[in-house]
Structure 1
């Protein structure tokens, strides 16, 4: 029967082998990644786009979104405050000959 001391020695030896193999595999992976980055001319931003910090997103979500000024005639759940970029549904509507005045929410007290 194997003793605890022998098993612990085997465990230590195995951990050492695992770390050696890991180092080799990580080095190979890094070479592959570098080759791919070079092949496609990628930048750090391409691979790791900047993410907003948790504090930024939590503050942004706690702010009021504003009062909707425009509403889709096809899907009334689609609204826009008129600030910032136009949503895709507004761009499509305008591209098909519509006007922003046609999308105004009637009876909106903020107008």
Structure 2
């Protein structure tokens, strides 16, 4: 390993060195985790199991995707709203006019 005299470096060189060291540490850690995971998976496979079975890890859930229509415009049935996000103007206007949200439910 090279001996570096830190007192001879400028502030920008020290900060650059600091970033390089942090990056090297993160890469080393990731590499070691990958190696450890591969070794554990191989050992579990030798025993006839998957690593997920042994650790009780759950499979990741797919995103739910766009929501279906929950409310329908009172006059134009082609216009709908999922009930998520900002309320559309027609929904707010209908509520202010005295309509109940349940009356517009799909």
TM-score, normalised on structure 2?
0.38
TM-score, normalised on structure 1?
0.37
